[in-house]
Structure 1
Amino acid sequence: MKCEYEDIISIYCLVFLPWLIFYEILLFIGPPSYSISTYFEFEHNIPVIECTELFYVFTYPYVLFLPLVFQTKQQVRCFIIDSLMNMSIEIYLQFILPFVAPPKQFIPKTILGQVLLYERSFDGPGCAFPSFHVSWAFLSAYYYSWIYAKYYFIFYILSILISLSCITTGMHSIIDIVGGFLLFFICVKRISLWIYIRNYFENLSNSWSCYRIGRLRIINSSIYVFVSASIGAFIIFSLIGDISGVLLINLSSLFMAAVWGQYIERSSGLSRPFGYFGFIIGGVVGSLIVSWFYSIPHIRILSAYALASPWIQGVGRFRCIIHGCCHGRSTNQFLGILITNSQSRVCSLSKLKNEYIHITQGYSILSNMIIGMLLWRLWYANISLYVIVSLYFILIGQSRFIEERFRGEIQTKVYCKLKIYQWLSILFVLIGIFLSMISFDNDRIQLNFLCKYEYLIPSILFGFIATFALAIDFPESKKRFSRLCD
C-alpha cells in the first residue's frame, strides 16, 4: 500500500523525536567520573581536517530527509522497526558503557571549522560508543538503496564518507565507528540473527546427554551450573571480602531453593527440583545471619548479591534449557523451538513434544543481562547501594512477571488468573519500591571490587557443590532426593 502523510509524520514522532529526547538526557547526565577513552594511542596523531565537517554535518539532513521519499507502508513499517531497535541498543549502550571520546582540540581556520566548534557546543565527550552518525547513516543508505536501487553505491559511499569524517573531525574514535557499523548490521540482519539464535537454543534444548560413572549420572548441563556458581561466588567474594560468610549465604540459598522446589514444584520426594524464589529467600535469611554475626552491613551484602545475581541466573538458564525446566508455552514456528528429546521436561512432564514453544529461558537470559549491566553501571557511578538493591527487586520482578506470561509449565499453580510466580513478582516490585523510600546515607557504606587469588579455591569449591546439587544424580536410586527428576 502507498504510504500517506500520517505514516511519514509517525516516523518523526515515534523515532526521531524520542531519540532526540533520550540523547539530550544522556548529555545532561554526562559520563561517569571514571570514564574510559575509546581512542587508540596512534589516533591522537590524526589531525582535525576541517573540510570534512561538511560530511559530518550532512548526516542530519541525510537522515531526516529519508522519510519523505518512502513510497509504501511496508518501507515505513520496516524503517520504524529497524530504527527503534537501533535507537534502543544505541541509547542503552551509550548509557551503560563508561566510554568517552573527548573531541580533539584545534584552532579553526575556515568557516567549516567554526561550524564544527559551534556543533561541539551542543555535544559532549559522552554518547560516543556506538557512533550514532555511523549507524543512522548506514541505516539511511540501506533504505535509500531500497527505493533508488540503481544508485545504491552513491548512498553507501556517502555513508562511508560520513563515517570517516567522524574520525577526521576529531569527534569519534575508530572503535566508535566500528560499533556504529555493527549496530547497523545487527538491525538490518535482525531476522537472520534471530533465526541463528533460535536454532542455537533449539539444538541446545535437544542436547540433553549424560556421562555415567557407576550409579552416578553427570548431565551435560553441569558445565553451565559450575560456571554460573563459581564465577558468581567469585564476584561476591570480591565484593564482600569474607569467604566463610559468603559460603554460608550461598549454602543457605541453595538449601532454600531445594526446599522451595519440594513444596512448590510438587516433587514426589525422590526428585530435587530447585526454585529461583527459594534462592532469594535463602539468600536474604543467610545474609541476615551473616550480617549479625560478622558485623557486615546488611545493605552491603544485599547489594553484592544484587550485582551478581543477574549474571548467576543468566548463565544458569542454560542449565534450564537443557533440562527443559522454565520452558515456554506453545507459539508459532517463527518464534518457537521444537523439542523432541524425551529426557527434557518439555516432553516428559508438560507433554509438549513436537510443539513449538517460546524460548522463555532465552528471554530470561536477555533480561538478566540488561538488568545486570544497568546495576553495574550504577555501582560504577557510586549510586547508593539502597538504589541498587531496590532496582534489582523492581526490574527482576517486572521481567519475571512478563516472562511468566509466556511460560507453559503445567505444574505452576494459578491464583486469581495469575500464576504464583507473577504474584511473587508483584511482591518483588513492592519490596523494591519500599526499599527505594528508605532514607539512606551511602557515604559510610562502600562496596569495592577487589579480586584476590585466595577467592579462587572457595569459588571452585562452591561451584562443585552447586554442580552436584543441580546436575548430578543417582537415577536408579530409591532414596529421597536422589534424582533430579522423577
Structure 2
Amino acid sequence: MEMIKSQKIRLQKMLYGTFFIFVLPLYFIFLANSLSLPFEVPKLGYGGSVIAIIGLVIMIRGMYELKVKGKGLPMNAFPPEELVEDGIYGVFPHPIYFGFCIMCIGISIFYKSVAGLYLVTPVIIGGCMALVLGYENLYLKKKFGKVPHPLLGISNISKPFTKIFRLNKLWNILLKWAENRANSWKSWRLGKLRIINHFLYSGLAGGIGSGIITLVLGRKYSLYIVILMFIGLIGAAIIGQIPVGSTNKLSRPFGYFGSLFGVSAAGLIIFIFYPEIFKVLGAFAIASPVAQAIGRIRCLIQGCCHGDNTEEGHGIVVNNPHSRVCALSHKCGVPIYPTPLYSIIGNVILEIILLFYWIRGVKYTIVIGLYLIGAGITRFIEEAYRGEPLTKIIRNLRIYQWFSVGMYFFGLIVMLFPSGITSIPETLDYGTAFMTGVIFFLISSFAMSMDFPDSTRRYSRLSG
C-alpha cells in the first residue's frame, strides 16, 4: 500500500514538473510567436542575452538552495520541509520566480519579440505574483510562522516610496472608508418589498457597465448587449446556488463566475454564426473592471465576499447585525481582511491596463484574454484572504481560486482566436448609452438590492 502511494506521489510530481517545465513554457513561446502588437522592443544589443543569463543564474541557484537547504523540490504543490531565508533567498524575493521573469524579459529583448516582452512576460509575472500572494506567502506563515524578508524584497524597496507618498496614511484612509461602508447596511420597506441601501452601487455597476459597452459599440449592437447582459445576470443567479446554496437568511446569492461563464459560453456559441461577436465581448471586457469595482462597494455593505480574520489594525471591523459578516459568518467585532477593497484596487489597475492596450490598437481577443487573465489573477489573490464559511476548499485552495486558475488559462487560449482590431469610436451615442444605462440600473438594483424578506421561496432573500 505504501509503495502504491509512493508511486502515485512520484507520478504526480513528474506530471506537475513536466507541465511547468516543458508544456507551459512551450505554450508561452508559441503564444509569443503567434501574436503581434503595435509596440517596439528596446535595442540593447547583447543586453538581452546578459539579462537572460542573470535571470537563469538566479533561478538555478534558487532551485539548488531550495533542494539542499529546504530539503525539497521547487514545486508549490509539493513544498520543501524547511524554510530557506539565507543565500540567494536573503537577497532576492522568491528567486526561482524572480529569475524566471528576468530571464523572460532578457529572452524577449534578445529575440526582439514584441509579444514576448509586452504580453507574455507580463502575463507570466502576474501569474507568479498570484501564486506568491494568493498561496505561498500564506502557506509559509501557516507552516513556519513567517515569510522571508530579503534585501531586495518589496517591503524593503517600497519603504522610501511609502514614506515619500505617505502610502500608509492613504491605506488607513481607505480602510476607514471600507469599514464605514461595511457598517452602513440599512433598508426601507414598501409593503412586502425591501429596498437595501446598496441599491445605488448595484444599480451603478449594471448601469455604468452597460453604458460603457454601448458607448464603445454604438446602437448597432444593442440587441447583443441586452442579450449578454441578461445572460450574465441570470448566470450569476443560477451558478450562485451551486457553491453557496440557499438558506433561510440567504436564498439569492450571486456568483461572479456564473455571470462570466454565461457570457463566455453565449459568446462562443454566437461566434459560430457571427464572428464579429468578439468586438462585443471586447467591449464587455473593457467595461467589466469598472462595473466590478463599483459592485464591490455593494459587497462591502452587504457583507458578501468578506475576508477572514486578521490582526488588529490590518483590517476592518464589522458590527452591523444585518451584514453577512455577522449574520452568516459570525465574525462580528473582529478584524477581517478588507477583501472587497483588494478587489476594487485590483480592478482599477486592470482597467488601466486594458485601456492602454485598447487605445494602442490590438486584437479584440487579446483584450478579452487579458481581462480573463487579469481578473483571474486578482480573484485568485483576493480569494486567498476570504473567510466565508460557505466557500468550499479543495486541495488547499478555495473553489473560486480554482475557477480563477481556469480563467487564467482560458485567457491564454482566447488570445489566439482571430478578430478585428480595437479602436476609439469616432462618434459616441450618448443617448442610447444613457437609456441602456438607466434600464440596467433599475434591473441590477432590483436583482441585487431588493428582496422579499417575509418569503421562504428560493431567490426571495438577499440577507437577514
TM-score (norm 2): 0.63
Which position in structure 2 is the counterpart of 1:201?
Answer: 178
Deviations 1:421-471 (A, max 9, x none): 1111111111111223x264645x757374311221222011101110000
Which position in structure 2 is the counterpart of 1:457?
Answer: 435
Give the alignment of 1:365-404 within 5 angstroms. Answer: 365-404=344-383
Deviations 1:320-355 (A, max 9, x none): 000100000000112111111110111111111111
- Other structure's SS at 2:241 match: helix
Whole-Å Cα distance in 2 between the matches of residues 440 and 289 of structure 1? 15
Deviation at 1:298, TM superposition (A): 2.4
Structure 1 stretch displaced more, 296-305 or 211-220: 296-305
Structure 1 stretch displaced more, 189-198 or 271-280: 189-198
1:358 to 337, 351, 359: 337
Which position in structure 2 is the counterpart of 1:81?
Answer: 158
Which position in structure 1 is the counterpart of 2:404?
Answer: 425
1:277 to 257, 265, 268: 257
Give the alignment of 1:208-357 within 5 angstroms. Answer: 208-241=185-218, 242-268=221-247, 271-288=251-268, 295=274, 297-357=276-336
May I ask how many residue pairs the two structures share in their alignment?
320
CA contact (8 A) 1:338 1:356 kept: yes
Whole-Å Cα distance in 1 between the matches of residues 346 and 226 of structure 2? 27
Deviation at 1:274, TM superposition (A): 0.2
Whole-Å Cα distance in 2 between the matches of residues 400 and 77 of structure 1? 21
Unaligned runs of 5+ in 1: 1-8, 30-73, 86-138, 140-183
Specify the code of the residue in structure 2 equivalent to 1:81: S
CA contact (8 A) 2:365 2:417 kept: no
CA contact (8 A) 1:327 1:360 kept: yes
- Judged with a 3 Å threshold, the aligned counterparts in structure 2 of structure 1 residues 439 and 413 are, in CA distance, closer, same or farther, namely closer
- Judged with a 3 Å threshold, the aligned counterparts in structure 2 of structure 1 residues 287 and 78 are, in CA distance, closer, same or farther, namely closer
Structure 1 stretch displaced more, 295-304 or 413-422: 295-304
Whole-Å Cα distance in 2 between the matches of residues 78 and 322 of structure 1? 31
Unaligned runs of 5+ in 2: 1-90, 93-97, 115-150
CA contact (8 A) 1:239 1:449 kept: no
Whole-Å Cα distance in 2 between the matches of residues 267 and 349 of structure 1? 12
CA contact (8 A) 1:245 1:290 kept: no
- Judged with a 3 Å threshold, the aligned counterparts in structure 2 of structure 1 residues 352 and 441 are, in CA distance, closer, same or farther, namely closer
- Judged with a 3 Å threshold, the aligned counterparts in structure 2 of structure 1 residues 268 and 77 are, in CA distance, closer, same or farther, namely closer
Structure 1 stretch displaced more, 385-394 or 365-374: 385-394
- Judged with a 3 Å threshold, the aligned counterparts in structure 2 of structure 1 residues 264 and 343 are, in CA distance, closer, same or farther, namely same
CA contact (8 A) 1:249 1:290 kept: no
- Other structure's SS at 1:264 match: coil
- Judged with a 3 Å threshold, the aligned counterparts in structure 2 of structure 1 residues 206 and 485 are, in CA distance, closer, same or farther, namely same
Specify the code of the residue in structure 2 equivalent to 1:217: R
Deviation at 1:253, TM superposition (A): 0.6
CA contact (8 A) 1:240 1:304 kept: yes
CA contact (8 A) 1:202 1:339 kept: yes
2:385 to 399, 402, 406: 406
Specify the code of the residue in structure 1 equivalent to 2:400: Y
Whole-Å Cα distance in 2 between the matches of residues 84 and 435 of structure 1? 37
CA contact (8 A) 1:335 1:358 kept: yes
Whole-Å Cα distance in 2 between the matches of residues 470 and 234 of structure 1? 18
Deviation at 1:381, TM superposition (A): 0.7
**Percent identity (aligned):** 35
Larger Rg belongs to? 1
Specify the code of the residue in structure 1 equivalent to 2:443: I
Deviation at 1:478, TM superposition (A): 2.9
- Judged with a 3 Å threshold, the aligned counterparts in structure 2 of structure 1 residues 409 and 280 are, in CA distance, closer, same or farther, namely same
Deviations 1:163-204 (A, max 9, x none): xxxxxxxxxxxxxxxxxxxxx4xx2x2222222111111111
CA contact (8 A) 2:203 2:442 kept: yes
Whole-Å Cα distance in 2 between the matches of residues 447 and 252 of structure 1? 27
Whole-Å Cα distance in 2 between the matches of residues 449 and 282 of structure 1? 31
